[in-house]
Structure 1
Amino acid sequence: MSTPCACLFFDIDGVIRDVSRSYRRALADTVEYFTGGAYRPSQREIDDLKAEGCWNNDWEGSRELIYRYFERQGKPRCQVPLDYERLVIFFEERYSGQNWSGYIQDEPLLVDVAYFQALDQAQIRWGFVSGATRDSAEYVLKHRLGLDRLLLVAMEDAPGKPDPTGLRMAYHQATAQETVPAFYVGDTVADMQTVVNARKEQATTPWIALGVIPPHVNPEDRQRYGDRLRAAGANAVFEHTRDITPRVVAAFLRQLADCDSNCGQ
């Protein structure tokens, strides 16, 4: 296997597929159901939760918003009779449904096969590091997007982000050379922090964090959302995943080469 010029890894939710009417809808449904219909979080409230950097798992995020609602009502979370397994089942009934008949079928794709073919032609190795379940990730990547080969690290394979284990696993599957620059494209604070943490654990690799503002963010909130990603460690922030082209990757590689040259003088 030849050495690539770079490795480009993608989160899936909000980067490859628009989950505003699927995962996020299932999350809001779950919170509403387990608060007895008293509280349904808005998209901005979900964004604010994810901006804390530790709620990449939507099952856990649902549970946290439920607990916080009852705490605002003066009821400690230790007194909330919340069955997490039942919560997960409720969430998945709405998101996955029977034979993928749930909200997952309403997810617009944000890239196409031609996008990845262009990366191949530029000798950029690519893959996916996602907190989605493997079944859900493979459904969108194989059956909807039409990718016939996958480098995928999913929920079952590694600890949740911002732990960098999954990103490092994908990198070592992509190349045996630890000096090949690695890009990670994500839409959350946790995604950016994952890259920051990878730098700490694998300092020989140039790690670059690329933020994408997901489609659900309103025009008036997009600057604020991008600033959050930059504050969390994004080297650059893009409006759309498809804006991250081989030419953009090449520009970053030139910057790295210039830095190495200047540092060596």
Structure 2
Amino acid sequence: MTQQSQLLVSAIVVFDIDGVVRDVSNSYRRAIADTVEHFTQGAYRPSLADIDVLKSEGIWNNDWEASQELIYRYFEGQGQQRNSLALDYQEIVRFFQSRYRGSDPENWTGYICNEPLLLQSHYLNELSSVGIAWGFFSGATRGSANYVLEKRLGLQSPVLVAMEDAPSKPDPTGLIATVQKLTNNFLDNCTSVVYVGDTVADMYTVEKARSLAPNRAWIGVGVLPPHVQASRQRRDAYAQTLKVAGAKVVFDNVQELTPREIQKLL
């Protein structure tokens, strides 16, 4: 942060992590499907499209809660009332984590170990070199976020607001807190903020931040997660959903948001 703060910062870019920095279609989303399948006794395994439909509602950023909601909705479809179901949320969390992190809490062996990276550290260095400050606001746990940022990407103590630090999106508290950490009294209150995310909740977060801190320009940028790019129809539909939710522009990959593209948005 010291090197960044000494530069003439032209903008602040805050990145979501899941679906932006790393591909979670075969990790987090696979863990959701495993969890729902387990707690419905094998009767229902949601597809990636099913999970996208739920997340398009803009309020299911927490994947543990999303898993629980899909379980509830399955049983409601079978004529049962959710208040009659004996679901244990902590058991849902434990099962999910056993798939995502693995059964050993110290040495992770789960799906997290095989997440493809969607961003490389040289891209962040390029942003820094032209005076663009950057950080991360994610609904992932701090342990999971640091695993990819520090262990995989090699970043040294990056600015990060994670699940434990703020309410779940679309509440903008975490986004605003990330910006406050980045500014650290070096930037004025009018520096534009770009938030890069892959879900409707991310775009709603930008809208809510704009209403709470109207002195800044808050710009939502959408990124298409890899799993929706398998077909043109699905890709276009997902991009349109993000634009309707507030994305000013949508990219296939986060690294397409170059300094030149950022300048165009300001």
Separation of aligned partners in 1, 2:114 and 2:219:
31
2:254 counterpart residue number = 241
Give the Å deviation of 1:163: 0.4
Partner of residue 227 from structure 2, selected from 212, 216, 225:
216
Q: Which runs of 4+ in 1 moved over 4 A?
A: none
Q: Does 1:80 align with 2:85?
A: yes
Give the Å deviation of 1:122: 1.1
Matched AA of 1:158: A
Separation of aligned partners in 1, 2:265 and 2:27:
34
Separation of aligned partners in 2, 1:61 and 1:149:
29
Q: Deviations over 1:98-121 (max 9, x none)?
A: 212100011000011101010011
Q: Secondary structure at the match of 1:163?
A: coil
Q: Does 1:11 align with 2:24?
A: no
Q: Secondary structure at the match of 1:21?
A: coil
1:147 counterpart residue number = 155
Separation of aligned partners in 1, 2:51 and 2:130:
37
Partner of residue 59 from structure 2, selected from 30, 54, 74:
54
Give the Å deviation of 1:248: 0.6
Give the Å deviation of 1:149: 3.2
Counting aligned pairs with the same residue, the percent is 55
Matched AA of 1:125: A
Give the Å deviation of 1:26: 0.3
Q: Does 1:187 align with 2:198?
A: yes
State how 1:45-194 maps to structure 2 within 5 Å. 45-97=50-102, 98=104, 99-175=107-183, 176=185, 177-194=188-205
Q: Secondary structure at the match of 1:89?
A: helix
Q: Does 1:252 align with 2:265?
A: yes
Q: Which runs of 5+ in 1 are unaligned?
A: 254-265
2:49 counterpart residue number = 44
Matched AA of 2:236: Q
Partner of residue 33 from structure 1, selected from 38, 42, 52:
38
TM-score by length of 1: 0.94
Q: Deviations over 1:20-57 (max 9, x none)?
A: 01000000000000000000000000000000000000
Matched AA of 1:129: F
Q: Secondary structure at the match of 1:69?
A: helix
Separation of aligned partners in 2, 1:164 and 1:122:
27
Separation of aligned partners in 1, 2:157 and 2:78:
50
Separation of aligned partners in 1, 2:57 and 2:86:
25
Separation of aligned partners in 2, 1:152 and 1:37:
37
Give the Å deviation of 1:11: 0.3
Give the Å deviation of 1:152: 0.1
Q: Secondary structure at the match of 2:195?
A: strand
Single out whichever of 58-67 and 238-247 deviates more from structure 2: 238-247
Q: Does 1:201 align with 2:209?
A: no
Separation of aligned partners in 2, 1:216 and 1:122:
32
